[in-house]
Every structure is written in C-alpha cells, then in structure tokens.
Amino acid sequence: MTFLNELDAIGRGLPRRDGPAKVLGTAVYAYETPLENAAYVCPVQATIARGTVSQLDTTAAEALDGVVAVLTPATAERLASTEDRELATLQDRKIAFRGQVIAAVVADSSEVARHAAALIRVTYAQAAHDCELRADRDDLYAPERVNPDFPTDTTEGDVDAAMAAAEVTVEQTYSTAMYHNNPMEPHATAALWDPAGDGSLTLWDSTQGVHPTRATLAAVFGLDEAQVRVVCPYVGGGFGSKGQPHVNVVLAALAARAVPGRPMRLALTRQQMFALAGYRTPTIQRCRLGADHDGTLTALEINVVEQTSKVKEFAEQTGVPARMMYASPNRRTTHRLAALDVPPPSWMRAPGECPGMFGPEVAMDELAERLGMDPVELRIRNEPDVEPGSGKPFSSRNLVGCLREGSARFGWSERDPRPGVRRRGAWLVGTGVAASTYPVSRMPDSTATIRREGDRYVTEIGAADLGTGTWTTLAQIAADALGVPVSRVDVRIGDTDYPMASVAGGSSGMTTWGSAVVEAARAFRSRYRTEPPDGAEASGVVQPPDDRYAMHAFGAQFAEAHVHTDTGEVRVPRLLGVFAAGRIINPRTARSQFIGGMTMGLSMALHEISVLDPRTGHVVNHDFADYHITANADVDEIEAQWLPEHDPHVNAMGSKGIGEIGIVGTAAAVSNAVWHACGVRVRDLPITLDKVL
Ligand code: MOS
C-alpha cells in the first residue's frame, strides 16, 4: 500500500460506475424491487380544496375482484405521531388542499387498484377555500425563520433615506411562478412489514436520504429507528422533492401494516405528484436598488411575498442571497407568507437562491441600463471585501473571475448595449448576463467506514446518488485519501445498514460524505501503517466546518436570446456558465450537474409554470402534455466552464457543492438577453410570447 497520492483520482473525469447498470436496465429502482406476492397501493385524492369528507362509499371498490383492502380514516391505523400534518394521512376526514389523500386501495395489481380507487364514491361537506397569492393580501405574516434556519428579515443602515438620496434608482416588482419538481422516476416506495415477526419495517424508497427517511418514518409509526430499514441504491432524480418523505411513503407503510406479510408497491402517477410531492412556491419580489452615478450601490432591498400551506409551513428563503451578493451600506430583506389552502411547498433545486436571484439580477441589469454602464462592470464595481452582514472573510470568492472569464469566452466586449437594434432575418438578437451563487454547506453526523475485503477497499456510507455521481466520486475521494488506485475501491451507499449519512440536499452531499470518507481514511491509515489485513476497518465522522469563513460558490451566466418579430417566440441558442466552485472532483459528472442546472434554469425562464386555478385549487396543467419542460429541441449550445479554484478552508477535498448553483441566475440572464434583443423587460416568469409582443 502506498501513501502517496501519485494516482490522483480526484479531478479525473471517470465514467459513472452505475452507468452500465442504468443503461442496461439492470439497476433496480424502488418500485421494481423483487418482492414475492406484492400488492399495489393507489391513493384516492380529494376533488375539493377545503372541507371534510362526509361519506366514503367503498362498497363497489371492495366488491371488485382483486381488491385486498381499502384504507380510509375509519379503517387506517392511528399513527404514533401526527405532528407533521403532511404525513398524518387518513387520520381524520378534514381536507386541507385539493388532491389530498382521503383513502387508498390495496389490490393484486396496479390496474385493479386504480380502477377500484375510481369506484369509491365520496360525499363532501365543502368549505370556502382560498388559493390566491397576492402581494396585497391583508393576512400576510412573517414566519419565525426562513428555510432552513435564516432570520426572516434583515436591516442594515437606512434604505429609505439612501433611496431618497440616490442618484439613480430602480424600483420594480418581479415574480417567479409555481414550479413542480418532475424527476423522471416518480415518487415510489415498496414496503414490507414484519417479515420475521420482529416488528420491523423495510422500505425500498426513492429518496435523497435513507437515514432521514428512516428517522421520519420511525417517528410517524412509533418505532425504534433500529426497527426500520430504508434501501435506495438508485434514484431517478429528485431535485429536492425526495429530500423529505412525502405521503406516499407513509401510505405504503400503512398498507403493509394493514396486510401483514404482503409487500406493497406504491408509485405516484405524474398527475398525483402535482399534489403530493412538493413544489416551489411562487414568489413576488419587490426590489429596490439605489446607486451613485459611478454604479456604486447605496441601497439594496428585496421584499418577498410567497405562499405556504395551512397544513405545514415552508418558508422559502428567497431574500437570503441578496444579503451577501453585493456590497451596499444600506440593505433590507423581508419575507412574508400567505398560508393558503394548497399543498405544502417544499425544496426544489436551490430553494431560496433560485427564485431569489431572479428579481435582484434583473434589477441589476435595469440599473446598468439607467446608468449607461456595462452590467458586467456594474457587478464588479459592487464586489464586497467581506461577506456583507456577517463581516466574515470569504473562504474564496471568484465572482469577478467568473464574470471576466465568461465575458472573454462569450465575446461580451463586442456587445452594443442598445436594446432592440440587432436583427437576423425576422429575429431580434440580444445577450444578457447574471450572477450565480450557492452556499457551501456541511451537515453534521455523517459517518463512513472503510474496510479491507480481500484486496479491495470498501467504503460504506448511507449516501444517495440521485444522478449526481456519488457512486463514482466517493470512490475517487476514498482512493486519494487512502493513497490507493481508485480501481481498488468499492463504494456501498443507499442503505440504512451502512453508517449514517445526511440528506442529499443543499448541495451538501459530497462536501459532507466526502469529509466523512476522508476522516475514515485518516483513521484507517493511522491504524494500519503497513499493508492492512483482510477485515481491517476504521470509521470516521464528518467534522464541523470552519465557521470563521463565509463559504459560497459563485458563477456568471451568459445567454443569447432571439425574439421573433412577428410571433414573439423566444429562442435561446447559446448559454454559457462559468463557475468557481472549489476543486472539481469529477469533471464529467460535474459538467452534467452544471448544464443540468442551467437547462432547468432555461426551463424556468421560458417554459415552466404550474397553473393553479384559484376557483378549484387545482393545478390544471398537471402532466407533461401541459406542464412544459425544456427539451432537447429547446437547448442549442449550452456550455459550462469552471475556474481552477483552490480553497483550503471549505473541507479536506477543497470542494464546493455544485448540484444547485447551475439553476441560479439562468432565468435572469435569459430575461436580460430578451430585453437586449427586443427592448421589453419581462419581470414575471415565464417569458412567454404574449409578454414580449
Ligand atoms: Mo436540493 S432542493 O436541497 O435537493
């Protein structure tokens, strides 16, 4: 065994270790887990937005051949904890949002379960509902904190006085839409209760965190965590919607406990996902910027209004990125919520940063326009020396480097700042820029074990790979930390039988689990100084981050937009993102993360919107026919680059999370490019043709 890192696995674009199994179709996803004599669960959803179920007639459903059980509030087990009201399913007859689960059918096949669910006759006592988000509602309230634990409001200096005194100002309202996470694999769970009569529950669940799911389900059912096993080797995407268990997991477990010995399968349909799997809240952002003639910001304000559910509060931290992005002596950020009769909003790729960098980054473009200043230069002019608010030094901050590198690569220097003057046939052509940022996080408690098995080094940790590359990148980190070739390292993840791992969320997966793997390797190497014997083993726990530094990744996104002069059609033939995100563990999987995020940002810019009809509380476009997501034909040239960034403070790998920053700022860059093309400012997403004509 060598202790030299001459092989340097980190930094190599190794192909995904899980790739062949996925391409060959042999990778087993939760719903496909081989289970004998499995039954199928189909939820029944409320068709009103508020009220109570006065009667559930299950006679026809129960009479159907192949129906095993019908779960209703009258027959379903009482849960040990109903504190999380999103998960406290079938515990009472109240309806808090349209699409809420009011019953479930268990049957021998999914077809029979679905048919039987349609045979259940429901009588409602309907109550008046309220599903309309408006900034002028008189019942807006300030939550105690915003997600996950930030102050709701912040104030520095005197924004009003600074705005009154400013030489140039921008005051505008921006909005982002309601969006639904739509991973390719739907939310799916297989559940088996008590196979050995030992009171244990096994869940094969499509999740971003097996251990967090176990903790939540154990509490809901009043079990010891040791009695619950959660298995998830592969995830077909999550984007945050599988970061916390939703009602499907509880329903599958409830069904398994109602029919002992029989495994259950439950996969939400695409349409069911639109009510049951979380979504990003719409936001309304009132932004104010004040500046001197030279572009120096003197005031910066964002006041956010967004929705939450009456069932469970989720306060998206939309105003948070404006707290640290640019220098300004006067600053105010606020969040206000409307609690509506809607499903609970939840995490969706870069909660906070994604919507929160739309308004301010378009406002910066508007300020540049008023100043007659280049928008790249305006941003560089307002670089802070230390993190605004906290006063902490940045562990590294290379926004300026990203803006300059991006400008050079994109050909920004030739840009004529005037809007609406470049024509290519029937198309108006423009370019736009916006900044990206995302915090570097490390979660507590994750543990990794490294063991010698034969001539292999096996790394075990209950981590998740939702398409992000974990199977591959953890092996690279372990190899370098052990000083062995990566080809001799095996990785085992996605099972609560492995050591505890935090959720794959907040772009903290690799920074957290990788840190635990490095600790385990250190322990292993100090215990076994010569060739380790078979069975040699050591564990390591992630250490807390160095909180003397402010840690964030940065980026700059450049977009070219074409707007058709007759139809208003908007096309984006070119997107370039340049990121500074520490050391890149694997350029191949990293590029996929960056361009995936940017594509989702383009989708947010042009296509995505969940249309909630306030008369019914129903998302009317709840399928892929009507909920448009950017597809191959919408994306032309999309390029992600990164700066070589050495940050010794973030963690042992020098890496920053990259799963989310790619979606941050994209929509603003596109909107700014659309303005430059045709002279119309689109402040309300998505940028549809009716808004530019
Ligand atoms: Mo991400 S929305 O924190 O999974």
- CATH number (domain holding residue 383): 3.30.365.10
Q: Which of 95, 92, 91, 120 is nearest to 106 (CA)?
A: 120
Domain boundary among 257, 276, 295: 276
- Same-domain check for residues 255 and 348: no
- DSSP for residue 366: H
Structure-token pair, residue 654? 């020098």
183 within ligand 1 shell (Cβ under 6 A): no
- Same-domain check for residues 327 and 469: no
Q: Write down the pLDDT at residue 4.
A: 41
Q: How far apart are CA 76 and CA 251, in angstroms?
A: 10
- Same-domain check for residues 631 and 683: yes
- Please determine, for residue 5, whether its predicted confidence score (pLDDT) is greater than 70: no
- Same-domain check for residues 308 and 262: no
Mean of per-residue pLDDT scores for the chain: 97
Domain boundary among 508, 541, 574: 541
Q: Are 229 and 334 in contact (CB under 8 A)?
A: no
pLDDT band at 386 (very low <50, low <70, confident <90, very high): very high
- Same-domain check for residues 171 and 82: no
Q: Tell me how crowded residue 582 is: count the other CB atoms within 10 A of its CB.
A: 29
Q: How many independent structural domains does the chain possess? A: 3
- Same-domain check for residues 159 and 122: no
Q: Which atom of ligand 1 is nearest to the CA of 242?
A: 4
Mean per-residue pLDDT for 626-638?
A: 95
Structure-token pair, residue 167? 């030489």
Q: Write down the pLDDT at residue 522.
A: 98
Residue 528 lies in a domain: yes
Q: Write down the pLDDT at residue 34.
A: 97
Task: To the nearest 10°, report the CA torsion of 686, 687, 689, 692.
Answer: 140
Q: Are 689 and 379 in contact (CB under 8 A)?
A: no
- Please determine, for residue 537, whether its predicted confidence score (pLDDT) is greater than 60: yes
| H or E element that contains 603 | helix 587-606
Mean per-residue pLDDT for 649-655?
A: 97
- Same-domain check for residues 562 and 674: yes
Q: How far apart are CA 552 and CA 325, in angstroms?
A: 10
Q: Write down the pLDDT at residue 7.
A: 65
- Please determine, for residue 275, whether its predicted confidence score (pLDDT) is greater than 50: yes
Q: Are 542 and 446 in contact (CB under 8 A)?
A: yes
Ligand 1 centroid from CA 347, angstroms: 6
Q: Write down the pLDDT at residue 197.
A: 84
* Percent of the chain whose pLDDT exceeds 70: 99
Strands, E, within 274-399: which ranges? 283-291, 297-309, 330-340
Please tell me whether residue 158 adopts helix, strand or coil conformation: coil
Of 660, 661, 663, the one to substitute when testing ligand 1's pocket (max ligand atoms within 8 A of C-beta) is 660
Mean per-residue pLDDT for 167-177?
A: 98
451 within ligand 1 shell (Cβ under 6 A): no
Q: Write down the pLDDT at residue 1.
A: 38
Q: Write down the pLDDT at residue 261.
A: 87
Q: Are 665 and 322 in contact (CB under 8 A)?
A: no
Sort 632 into a burial class: Cβ within 10 Å, 0-12 / 13-18 / 19+. Answer: exposed
- Same-domain check for residues 194 and 76: yes
- Please determine, for residue 260, whether its predicted confidence score (pLDDT) is greater than 90: no
Between the CA of residue 194 and those of 35, 75, 179, 191, 201, what are the distances in Å?
14, 20, 38, 10, 6
Ligand 1 centroid from CA 348, angstroms: 6
Ligand 1 centroid from CA 213, angstroms: 15
Ligand 1 centroid from CA 62, angstroms: 40
594 within ligand 1 shell (Cβ under 6 A): no
pTM, two decimals, is 0.97
Q: Are 431 and 560 in contact (CB under 8 A)?
A: yes
Residue 173 lies in a domain: yes
- Please determine, for residue 664, whether its predicted confidence score (pLDDT) is greater than 70: yes
Q: Which residues of 139-160 are buried (b: 16+ CB within 10 A; e: fewer)?
A: ebeebeebbeebebebeeeebe
- Same-domain check for residues 566 and 581: yes
240 within ligand 1 shell (Cβ under 6 A): yes
Q: How far apart are CA 339 and CA 166, in angstroms?
A: 36
Q: Write down the pLDDT at residue 590.
A: 98
Write out pLDDT tens, residues 549-571: 999 999 999 999 999 999 999 99
- Same-domain check for residues 565 and 668: yes
Q: Which atom of ligand 1 is nearest to the CA of 503?
A: 4
Q: Are 506 and 212 in contact (CB under 8 A)?
A: no
Q: Are 469 and 591 in contact (CB under 8 A)?
A: no
355 within ligand 1 shell (Cβ under 6 A): no
Mean per-residue pLDDT for 622-650?
A: 96
Residue 6 lies in a domain: no
Residue 9 lies in a domain: no
Sort 193 into a burial class: Cβ within 10 Å, 0-12 / 13-18 / 19+. Answer: buried
Q: Tell me how crowded residue 644 is: count the other CB atoms within 10 A of its CB.
A: 11
Kind of pairing between the strands at 447-453 and 537-541: antiparallel
Domain boundary among 541, 566, 592: 541
Residues 6+ apart with CB under 8 A from 526: none
Mean per-residue pLDDT for 370-388?
A: 98
pLDDT band at 170 (very low <50, low <70, confident <90, very high): very high
User: Residue 285: which domain range?
Assistant: 145-179+280-440+549-692
Of 213, 349, 465, 502, the one to substitute when testing ligand 1's pocket (max ligand atoms within 8 A of C-beta) is 349
- Please determine, for residue 677, whether its predicted confidence score (pLDDT) is greater than 50: yes
660 noted as active-site residue:
yes
Q: Which atom of ligand 1 is nearest to the CA of 243?
A: 4
How many residues belong to the chain?
Answer: 693
Residues 6+ apart with CB under 8 A from 421: none
Q: Which atom of ligand 1 is nearest to the CA of 508?
A: 3
Strands, E, within 5-110: which ranges? 39-45, 51-57, 67-71, 94-95, 101-107
Residues 6+ apart with CB under 8 A from 671: 358, 362, 365, 432, 605, 681, 682, 683, 685, 687
Write out pLDDT tens, residues 90-112: 999 999 999 999 999 999 999 99
Ligand 1 centroid from CA 588, angstroms: 21
- Same-domain check for residues 219 and 171: no
- Same-domain check for residues 425 and 299: yes
Angle between helices 247-258 and 210-221 (to 10 degrees): 50
CA 662, 665, 671, 676 dihedral sign is negative
The conformational region for residue 685 under phi > 0 = left, psi -120 to 50 = alpha, else beta, is beta
pLDDT band at 588 (very low <50, low <70, confident <90, very high): very high
Query: Residue 269: what residue type?
Result: T
- Please determine, for residue 3, whether its predicted confidence score (pLDDT) is greater than 60: no
CA 288, 294, 295, 297 dihedral sign is negative
